[in-house]
Amino acid sequence: MKVKVCGITDVETAKRTAALGADAIGFVFAKSKRQISPEAAREIIAGLPAGVLKVGVFVNESRERVEEIVRVCGLDYAQLHGDEDEAYAQELQVPFIKAFGVGSTADVEAALRYPADYILLDSPKGAYQGGNGKKFDWSLLDGLSGEERGRIILAGGLGAENVAEAARWVQPYMVDASSSLETDGKKDLSKIQTFIETVKESHNDNLHVSRS
């Protein structure tokens, strides 16, 4: 199972996070306390290993601007957190993830219909259009097929204390965390390390059980 750490804002933290085993790193270009400029993100991305996915977070940005930032910064995916409709998605010329706040099975069904490479399922939107650092009801995802789970990036209040349970219950393609990996508003490398190790150990345990 893959791990994404979102809201990175400096070179050293990004490099250390990659070295600790993160599979993806997120950069927030939308209004947020973790907002970063394209110029700063480009500098950070230039120093990251090729195998780490670089993801840019956008909210109701024009398609042209999203495509420009993806190209200039060297992003692998745009992550859309706003009100981007399917017409927007069909015209977007870069790989992308669409985020959805989940409060009902209807929300899950709408997310699965959306024509994105991956869908990020989060708790309902807060002040900055992202999640509010709280988990949603994972039982809303019961009954999904393996193919459907393979498109899901799970977010919403995930930390070292609950991500193993989340991984077993939901079996997503990737798990994503940001605020739970901070201390006093700054990314905490110790928390990042514990989170990544917990996910990887949980995944290995699940493989062992499935093969027994």
Question: Residue 209: is its pLDDT beyond 50?
Answer: no
Q: What is the pLDDT of residue 205?
A: 56
pLDDT, tens digit (0-9, with 9 covering 90-100), for 154-204: 999 999 999 999 999 999 999 999 999 999 999 999 999 999 999 998 766
Q: Is 211 a residue whose pLDDT tops 50?
A: no
Is 76 annotated as catalytic? Answer: no
The secondary structure of residue 57, as a DSSP letter, is: E
C-alpha 161/C-alpha 72 separation (Å) is 37
What is the tens place of the pLDDT at every residue in 130-141? 555 688 999 999
Active-site position among 23, 73, 85, 122: 122
Is residue 122 part of the annotated active site? The answer reads yes
**What confidence score (pLDDT) does residue 134 get?**
80
> What pTM does this model have?
0.92
Please tell me which residue in 6, 23, 73, 176 is annotated as part of the active site: 6
Cα distance between residue 3 and residue 149, in whole Å: 15
Tokens in use for 148?
Answer: 């459907």
CATH number corresponding to 2-211: 3.20.20.70
| DSSP secondary structure of 113-168 | HS--SEEEEESSP-TTSS--S----GGGGTT--HHHHTTEEE-SS--TTTHHHHHH
What pLDDT, in 10s, does the model give residues 18-67? 999 999 999 999 998 999 999 999 999 999 999 999 999 999 999 999 99
pLDDT in tens, 74-131: 999 999 999 999 999 999 999 999 999 999 999 999 999 999 999 999 998 755 555 5
The Cβ of residue 201 has, within 10 Å, a number of other Cβ atoms equal to 12
Task: Give me the residue spans of the domains in the chain.
Answer: 2-211
